[in-house]
Structure 1
Amino acid sequence: MDTTPDIQAQLGHVPDAPGVYLWKQAGEVLYVGKAKSLRKRMRQYTGGHDDRAMVPRMMARVDSFDYVTTTTEAESMILEANLIKELRPPYNVDFKDDKSFPFIALTLSDPFPAIKYTREKHKPGTRYFGPYTDARAARETMEVVRRVYPVCRATCVEWKRLTARSGEPTGTACFDYHVGKGPGPCVGAITQAEYRERIDKIAAFLEGRQREVADELERAMRVAAADLDYERAARLRNSLDAVRASLERQRVVSDRPLDLDVIGLEREETITGATVLLVREGRIVGANEFTLDKGLDAGEAELIEGFLLRYYGTASYVPREVVVPALPEEPQAAEAWLRGLRGTNVRLLVPQRGDKRSLLDLASTNARHSLTRYKHRTRYDEERLNRALLELESALALPAPPLRIECYDISTLHGRHSVGSMVVFTGGRADKAAYRRFKVRLPAEEANDVAMMAEVLRRRFAREGAGDTRFARQRPDLLLIDGGKPQLNAVRAVLDELGMSHVPLASLAKREEELWRPGWDEPVVLPSGSPSLYLVKRVRDEAHRFAVEYHRELRGKAMTASVLDEIPGVGPKRKKALLKHFGGIRKLRAATAEEIAAVPGVTRDVAEAVAEALQGE
């Protein structure tokens, strides 16, 4: 980590107190964070004790820092949220789409507040509801509101004239008033007090208290009908129908009046899909989808905290409970910050069972679909894979981008049941039809990965040379093996022996994720979090998975065979009959002596011996 000694020395003067720290490069703020102890937290960055993938990249750029102390953790979170909102540092969690989201707003500072659909920055004197990630849903909601409670639009010419006259009627009725969507303050048809009551009800509706609005409308309709005011009763009935239609589109998730937001995440390499389910009065009244610019390269706790800061920093409403897949690093500080926004207590929770756990699973499923749609819409995978292949071509000095990568791995247990795997990635994607596996023939008392790797490579290319149709005739653009320089040299010798020294070769060491090339004195270290590093790690991990899977299969068969072979009265014919009848050793082990005795050719005594041996094993 290229943190300058000067920064290391300066950290000794940072106080052991709560506060906010800012990592900088040439005066630009790269990252804003908070801590219970500034000194301890900041030293984690420079001492290599922070395992987040983004930290080495960021600290390689850092040339200075600032910090601000606070008296409490809650104060530090408030300050952190304000600084992130103001500075938008590149290494903090942010929305991938750098755009403004729509809100529905009520201009409460005006004599007759109007409703509007807007993407503007929040202004004093205006109350905002949202954000809405679906612009169509926001406009439809606004239309439903105006059908239930006729109210002025901020775009109405007569309303603008009315506002300029400090609420004095203009004497000219607007078009909305004529069609029943405007209450008519422009002609004095409604008082400011009556209009304000209507605005309060609209606010309740937009907060999600639609059941409460429906009950009130039904009561008012019955009173109007009892008073023989049928015209008013008809208007109220129409409004009630609009609210009920809105309620019918909402999914009921609990018979309890739950008031909570449920946050689901789906993380990938450097990107995350997030879905917020809005649950009001036990119903899902809406869902907002976001894509974040951090993924597995950031810690889950940091990702949760960053999303909370980003979302609730602009959201119009904070519920009593926020359900999350994991708690942020300092949940008490986060709850205190949310409490300051709501005005009453807010609880963060990670449910393990019940309705809330089901809602969290639903939110996570929706986050996964949201991320898939984003990647398809933006061609994210294609662009990232192309960048990864070009980065590998440059870093490893290959003659062309490695469109076909073959990777090999060995799995063994003290030299027994040793196997080798060959996985193929074409264009950066797994080509499972081209996978191959090898049962290692080398006799060995102990594991000898180098010799086994050499055997696997020799057999793979010898069989291709002999015209084996199970191997592609296309040579790999990059041959990748799991291991360091010993494995690399062994494979290089095999390729030279087969006259294939022209095949590009590299090995990936697990410990430091270093790539070694034949004849190079220094390893290649791909940038942390880069597409190329993620690709070679994914290829390596897939080869390891495929090898381990085959190794376990052979070991399981060997264990099964040895146990049954040791039971008196069980010969090859009975062993085959037992395994065929039960479909495998797992079901045979779970069977009772009576069930085993039902197999044709198996006596009661043998069945009891098999059951006793397998259950004991």
Structure 2
Amino acid sequence: MDTSISQGLNKEGLPVQSIVAARTATPGDLSLLAEQVAQVPTDPGCYLWRNAEGEVIYVGKAKNLRARMRQYVTLSDDREKIPLMMQLVASFDYLVVDTEHEALVLERNLIAQYHPYFNVDFKDDKSYPYIALTKGDMFPAIKYTRERHKSHTRYFGPYTDSRAARETIDTLRKVIPICSATCAEWRRVRRMLERQLEDAQVIQMICAQKGRPCFDYHVGRGPGVCVGACTPEEYKQIVRRVEHFLSGHRSEVVHELTDEMQLAASELDFERAGRIKRRLDVVRGLDDRQQVDFASSIDIDLVGFYREETIAGACVFCVREGRTIRSVEFILNKGFDVSEVELVEGFLKRYYEETADIPAEIDVGIDLPDADVIAQWLTEKRGRSTRIHRPQRGEKHHLMETCERNAHHALMRYMMRTGYADERTNQALLQLESALALPQAPMRIECFDISTLHGAFTVASMVVFTNGRADTSQYRRFKIQAELSEANDFLSMQEVLGRRFAPERMADERFGKRPDLLVVDGGKPQLSAAISQLKELGLDIPVCGLAKSDEEVFVPWDDTPVVLPTGSASLYLIKQVRDESHRFAITFHRELRDKAMTVSVLDEVSGVGPARKRALMKHFGSMKRLKAASVEEIAEVPGVSMLVARAVFDTLRASQQAITT
């Protein structure tokens, strides 16, 4: 039994019924693990997969523990990371609870305790900034902090930008004067009250007579606790307003300040009315800066994601009373190496565990299987109903797209700031050198792809990656010259490689130097064609083929394809190379096909020569627009008469009818 788990759970008061540790197996021995899983109960709970060293590498929850864990040991879980993870598993623990909701809470606590490698978590697992109210004091103060453990303090956040948190505090104190925890005079009064809390009224009188006013009180950002200018009852009203303001519910604050301003004006206290008006101007200035508003007054969070291969960006738009009051961005330690559902659910559990600001609705970009369970957990934490929703149209859907774009930009900024892309590229090149048994790291990679339509308009692309990055100046494209009655990738690949690596091309500086790795898009047939052609040319260039279906890498020296680890930098790079060559080839193929179709149709029109064809295409920009044009619109093209325009229109219409029939 893992006693550290047992003690931690008992301390937290979680309803654990049993904890069982499996007998240690050889890592990857799924048969022994399957025997042990067969003894696991069918109750709700959490499971912890451990490696040979006993380290927890993954934590999950389940409504039925045995059924869920069986999916792992039988490899029937279709997530890409599972085969790799199960190769490392040597034992497991499980913990039984009463409900699926309790399992979710327990799962989040265990992830926070162990930080398992295969679970979704923040990439930079530091403590984030919060704005805190010290609710345990008679005169609660506001402060900027990274702590998250004091029970009598209310926290607002998290913020990912410390400057934004500090600016929010500064703006708030302009609107609602409140003591700051950094104020020396506030700390002095706090110490006096802690020593003699029963004499609070006496202390207030002492402050009123002998107190030293702090600087904030002089400039209107402090209520004057230090000089007895504010009673505990008046201060409670200030704290309540601060909580509403930080929660995004500013309308109530605005209404109260407006009433106070009107009351001060009616009493001819114009100086006080002027101060309140300036505070109202600050609040309205915040609203003027909002770029995203809803027509209705709603409280929602929109959570968007953008994924790369092993990393992801997340962005949260906090909308209160129909206005976006805050956006926060995070970097996650998983990307395409986990499912989108796992990524989204993992983030929601982590984020809303750490924030007290939970809205009535949380919008995400996909449907979540555990949406009801997460919503129940959030409802209990919030004290009011919360739902998980996927917007599919309207202003929420539009704002969700904006949120996802911001997640993309956040990820790109992180990668640039940390040099993450360069580090990953270096890893990829070294991994490819090892996995493909190359003599050196492939600093220059060339990839070839064939695109054809039943043997017509057959073209080939050559893309080049230098030092792991696309080198577009070295891209080349080829028209296949062999006459083909049907698609023949074998002959097409032989031809393009024969032309690329012909002696005159190898000597041509425009084609660059000899590649360190040659990649052909396809499996064994394309690889065989490449090897055959290179042998004929007397060249010894490392070559491999990449199949589209299972992302298997075929090599000349082994009949069994090389399987690069899912989520690895090497797989990401070689797929990027393959996809770029495919894009470049198919773009050229479509250009030739569209051009041929355009020329062939217009060549049938009497009175339309090369000059008029160019004029027509320049005017309309595409064949699609020309086909949609009326006779009068065609006649507007310079040099095209009404008679010729009618001939063009009739020919295009007849051609379109022939295609549809």
Instruction: Give me the TM-score of the superposition, normalised by structure 1.
Output: 0.91
Query: Does the C-alpha gap of structure 1 residues 115 and 563 become closer, same or farther in structure 2, counting only changes over 3 Å?
Result: same
Q: For residue 545 of structure 2, what is the aligned residue in structure 1? A: 507
Matched residue SS, 1:602: helix
Q: Compute the RMSD of aligned alpha carbons.
A: 2.8
Q: What is the 5 A alignment of 1:11-410?
A: 11-25=37-51, 26-155=53-182, 156=184, 157-167=187-197, 168=200, 169=203, 171=207, 172-173=211-212, 175-176=214-215, 178-179=217-218, 180-251=220-291, 253-410=293-450
Matched, 1:5 2:3: no
More displaced 10-residue stretch of structure 1: 248-257 or 168-177: 168-177
| CA apart distance, 1:341 | 1.8
AA aligned opposite 2:581 = A
Supply the distance in 1 between the matched residues of 2:281 and 2:260 (Cα, whole angstroms): 14
Supply the distance in 1 between the matched residues of 2:195 and 2:558 (Cα, whole angstroms): 81
Supply the distance in 1 between the matched residues of 2:607 and 2:38 (Cα, whole angstroms): 74
AA aligned opposite 1:107 = T
Per-residue CA distance 1:484-542 (angstroms, 9 max, x = gap): 344333322322222222x2222223344333333345443322211111101111111
Per-residue CA distance 1:255-310 (angstroms, 9 max, x = gap): 32121111122211111111111111222211111111111222112111111111
Matched residue SS, 1:239: helix
Supply the distance in 2 between the matched residues of 1:456 and 1:351 (Cα, whole angstroms): 48
Supply the distance in 2 between the matched residues of 1:185 and 1:586 (Cα, whole angstroms): 75
Q: For residue 581 of structure 1, what is the aligned residue in structure 2? A: 616
Query: Does the C-alpha gap of structure 1 residues 56 and 605 become closer, same or farther in structure 2, counting only changes over 3 Å?
Result: same
AA aligned opposite 2:517 = L
Which blocks of at least 5 consecutive residues in structure 2 are unaligned? 1-26
Contact 1:173 1:184 in 2 (8 A): no
Q: For residue 613 of structure 1, what is the aligned residue in structure 2? A: 655
Supply the distance in 1 between the matched residues of 2:286 and 2:407 (Cα, whole angstroms): 24
Query: Does the C-alpha gap of structure 1 residues 19 and 237 become closer, same or farther in structure 2, counting only changes over 3 Å?
Result: same
| CA apart distance, 1:213 | 1.0
Contact 2:257 2:276 in 1 (8 A): yes
| CA apart distance, 1:321 | 1.4
More displaced 10-residue stretch of structure 1: 302-311 or 11-20: 11-20
Contact 1:410 1:453 in 2 (8 A): yes
Matched residue SS, 2:392: coil
Q: For residue 602 of structure 1, what is the aligned residue in structure 2? A: 644
Q: What is the 5 A alignment of 1:549-568?
A: 549-559=587-597
Supply the distance in 2 between the matched residues of 1:268 and 1:558 (Cα, whole angstroms): 38
AA aligned opposite 1:528 = T
Query: Does the C-alpha gap of structure 1 residues 383 and 413 become closer, same or farther in structure 2, counting only changes over 3 Å?
Result: same
Query: Does the C-alpha gap of structure 1 residues 365 and 7 become closer, same or farther in structure 2, counting only changes over 3 Å?
Result: same
Matched residue SS, 1:251: coil
| CA apart distance, 1:194 | 1.9
More displaced 10-residue stretch of structure 1: 234-243 or 596-605: 596-605
AA aligned opposite 1:112 = F
Matched, 1:484 2:484: no
Query: Does the C-alpha gap of structure 1 residues 413 and 235 become closer, same or farther in structure 2, counting only changes over 3 Å?
Result: closer
Per-residue CA distance 1:454-489 (angstroms, 9 max, x = gap): 1110111116447556422x1111111123344333
Matched, 1:417 2:496: no
Supply the distance in 2 between the matched residues of 1:221 and 1:380 (Cα, whole angstroms): 54
Query: Does the C-alpha gap of structure 1 residues 42 and 603 become closer, same or farther in structure 2, counting only changes over 3 Å?
Result: same
Query: Does the C-alpha gap of structure 1 residues 610 and 164 become closer, same or farther in structure 2, counting only changes over 3 Å?
Result: closer
Contact 1:421 1:547 in 2 (8 A): yes
Query: Does the C-alpha gap of structure 1 residues 415 and 13 become closer, same or farther in structure 2, counting only changes over 3 Å?
Result: farther
Per-residue CA distance 1:138-169 (angstroms, 9 max, x = gap): 11222223333333332333134134225432
Contact 1:412 1:551 in 2 (8 A): yes
Contact 1:514 1:525 in 2 (8 A): yes
Contact 1:131 1:316 in 2 (8 A): no
Matched residue SS, 2:240: helix
Contact 1:421 1:546 in 2 (8 A): yes
Matched residue SS, 1:407: strand
Per-residue CA distance 1:325-360 (angstroms, 9 max, x = gap): 123232111211221221111122222222212221
Q: For residue 448 of structure 1, what is the aligned residue in structure 2? A: 488
Contact 2:30 2:74 in 1 (8 A): no
Supply the distance in 2 between the matched residues of 1:605 and 1:484 (Cα, whole angstroms): 49
Query: Does the C-alpha gap of structure 1 residues 563 and 17 become closer, same or farther in structure 2, counting only changes over 3 Å?
Result: farther
Instruction: Give me the TM-score of the superposition, normalised by structure 2.
Output: 0.85
Query: Does the C-alpha gap of structure 1 residues 134 and 578 become closer, same or farther in structure 2, counting only changes over 3 Å?
Result: same
Supply the distance in 1 between the matched residues of 2:62 and 2:600 (Cα, whole angstroms): 58
| CA apart distance, 1:40 | 3.8
Supply the distance in 2 between the matched residues of 1:464 and 1:384 (Cα, whole angstroms): 36
| CA apart distance, 1:205 | 1.1
Supply the distance in 2 between the matched residues of 1:459 and 1:217 (Cα, whole angstroms): 80
Supply the distance in 2 between the matched residues of 1:484 and 1:469 (Cα, whole angstroms): 31
Supply the distance in 2 between the matched residues of 1:330 and 1:307 (Cα, whole angstroms): 13
Supply the distance in 1 between the matched residues of 2:74 and 2:632 (Cα, whole angstroms): 64
AA aligned opposite 1:79 = L
